[in-house]
Chain A
Amino acid sequence: MVPNKFNKKILKRNLTAYAFCLPWFIGFICFTLFPIIFMFAVSLTNRKLNGKSSFVGFSNYAAMFQSPTFWNSLKITIFFTVIMMAVTTVWAVIMAMLLNHKQKLNGIFQFFYFIPSVVPTISLAYAFRTIFGKDAGLLNYVISMISGKNTSINWMYDPHTVYLVIFFITLFTYNTGQMMLVFRSSLNDVPRELYEACDMDGAGALRKFTMVTIPMISPIILFNSVTGCISALNGSFALLYPLTGENGDPNGMTQVLSLLIYKEAFSNMKVGYASALSVILFLIACLFGIIIFAFSKKTVYYEN
């Protein structure tokens, strides 16, 4: 009866493992899988915030695809995500390279570079709302001092400057600090010999950077960029809601999908429609997820 005993042992081991996984399993079913299915179901109804609902088929989607607000929001979401990813990645690499240059006081510099990442986003949002404010804003004050002319630009609400300001503010989010630390350790892992070989060839600093550093850390750059996309989709609400409000001022120029979802569900009380918007946001996230997964199979090494 050896095989039977053997099977029993395997069964027992499997059951033990499942017992450990039980919290995740319950959590996954209740807080992820069920909401996903439920979201699709609600998106086919005209559910209101007060709970009244009836089945309307795909009319939420039809309304959505005819709504200029939706198309604007979709465009802004992708624009915001991609640009935020690009500027935060570049800034994180710059800070990491500065910090990796061995000099005194690097510990203190890291404190200053990293600390904005762990303070509340909403505090930063309010700081910048006043720094870039029209009256008594710090930036206008400094410009007036330098130019000698009275400057009163409404940086946050001027269509010409709003993106400049918003993307500047993304440099202070958690994502940037996280990337900086990851880049610091991966830059340290670039083999010294490669730089020495460059020195022999008489290559300058810029050439070293483009020929050695960039290729060597490229997997990390790509991996960070794509995870940055996900956190841009998720974190944009906490950043933009206190900055520009649910309408994404000026003229919806900053109204990403998460803000529109909030507005439709709570101000317009159209929960069914907000669910349809959520489905789109979910699909965008899945698309990024698939890209990560395809990419990580190739370059990021998972054992087993």
Chain B
Amino acid sequence: MRTLKGKKRSAEILIFILKILVAFIMFCPIIWVFSGSFKDLAEFTTSPGIIPKKPTLENFSYIFNNSNYFIYIKNTVLLMVLTTFGTLISSSLVAYPLARMNFWGKNVIFAIIVGTMMIPNIALIIPQYIMFGKMGWLDSLLPMIVPAFFAYPYNVFLFRQFFRSIPKELDEAATIDGCNKAGVFFNVLVPISKPVFVTIGMLSCVFWWNELTQPVFYINSDKWRTLTIALMTTFMYTSGNAFVINWPSIMAASTLMIIPPMVLYLFGSKFLVGGIKTSGLK
């Protein structure tokens, strides 16, 4: 009996050690970025120890002094806020009849929405690029902001799943009270659905904060750069020493980009995790 208990105990300890090991692997790149952002260029390129020998804040001041960093932040936040705002309104509106009403062609529309979820954005980016070029939208945030106001299939899908879980009796009660369909949506469904709005809003913010592909295709000039493109272009080379990659300042810029999603997770993990858990199912 004793040995069985002892066996179980050592198994528990082994699993716990495994957990720590995996946590270490997963967090390693982030620690590396944090530590690199406090080293100077000479130390970064010669000694890869995790703890900086003489920590410096120079890299942070370098990126603020040598780039239009506040413009990049402004662009990224503008992009994030407007796309999120647009997709929350439009996607919830579209999801409502799909979840709560019977109408002709509903199944066809839903099938198309699920089908278009499968198309990778990158496959259509060339024709979209030409199209937005004809409209004069290139080199601005418009190619990313405007489509957000016309419902992303994935978000419609998430909203629909949530709306279906709300009891239909609520709609019926509101209809008897004299609400029309729009009234039911705004007065009944939206107030109860606050958690799903927060979840999809958070997922959207994280997506646009991190998005690289679309800005790379659509944005050229410095005044519309987002933080992700700035990371790729602006901080690449030290001014004095041509074609040397200034890694510590890239690490510093990365550190500044990594912190907001981490903070978001700390405060909103309930919404974020809950939302993602249901996204892959049903």
Contact = CB atoms under 8 A, between A and B. Distances in A.
Q: Do A and B come from one complex?
A: yes
A24 B45 contact: no
Interface in B188-236: 206, 209-213, 216-217, 227-228, 231-232
A185 to B, nearest CB: 5
B26 interface: yes
A108 B28 CA distance: 15
Interface in B101-155: 101-104, 106-107, 109, 112-116, 118-131, 133, 147, 149-151, 153
Contact of A109 (B19, B106, B164, B232): B19
Contacts of A184: 277
Central interface residue in A32, A137, A227, A301, by most chain B CB within 10 Å: A32
B278 to A, nearest CB: 8
Interface residues of A, number: 98
A186 B281 contact: yes
B130 A38 contact: yes
Contacts of B227: 120
**Which of under 10, 10 to 19, 20 to 34, or 35 or more describes the interface residues of B?**
35 or more
Interface string A66-108: 0000000000000000000000000000110011010100000
Interface stretch (A56-64, A154-162, A247-255, A285-293): A285-293
Contact of A20 (B93, B209, B261): B93
A262 B216 CA distance: 10
A163 interface: no
B122 A233 contact: yes
Contacts of B119: 32, 282, 285-286, 289
B123 A281 contact: yes
Contacts of A128: 29
A13 interface: yes
B262 interface: yes
Contacts of A36: 124, 127
B280 A178 contact: yes
Contact of A14 (B23, B46, B104): B104
Contacts of B232: 122, 242
B281 A220 contact: yes
B55 interface: no
Contact of A98 (B19, B122, B130): B19
B124 A119 contact: no
A197 interface: no
Given A103-B15, A265-B126, A115 B151 contact: no
A220 B277 CA distance: 12
Contacts of A174: 210
A14 B123 CA distance: 34
A39 B150 contact: no
Nearest to B122: A258
A111 interface: yes
Contacts of A115: 26-27, 30, 261-262, 265
Contacts of B250: 126
Given A126-B33, A127-B251, A286-B118, 10 more contacts: A21-B98, A24-B153, A26-B150, A36-B124, A103-B15, A111-B266, A118-B206, A118-B210, A122-B212, A227-B280
Interface of A: 13-14, 16-18, 20-21, 23-24, 26-28, 30-32, 34-36, 38-39, 42, 47, 51, 94-95, 98-99, 101, 103, 109-116, 118-124, 126-128, 130-131, 135-138, 141, 171-172, 174, 177-179, 181-182, 184-186, 220, 223-224, 227, 230-231, 233-234, 237-238, 241-242, 258, 261-262, 265, 271, 274-275, 278, 281-282, 285-286, 288-289, 292-293, 300-304
Interface of B: 12, 15-16, 18-19, 22-23, 26-30, 32-33, 36, 44-49, 90, 93-94, 96-98, 101-104, 106-107, 109, 112-116, 118-131, 133, 147, 149-151, 153, 156, 164, 180-182, 185, 206, 209-213, 216-217, 227-228, 231-232, 247, 250-251, 254, 257-258, 261-262, 264-266, 269, 272-273, 276-277, 279-282
- A-B pairs, 7 with minimum CB distance: A27-B150, A289-B118, A234-B120, A17-B103, A182-B280, A17-B97, A123-B254
15 contacts: A13-B101, A23-B150, A51-B133, A101-B15, A111-B269, A112-B22, A112-B23, A116-B26, A116-B27, A127-B30, A131-B29, A138-B32, A227-B280, A237-B212, A286-B118
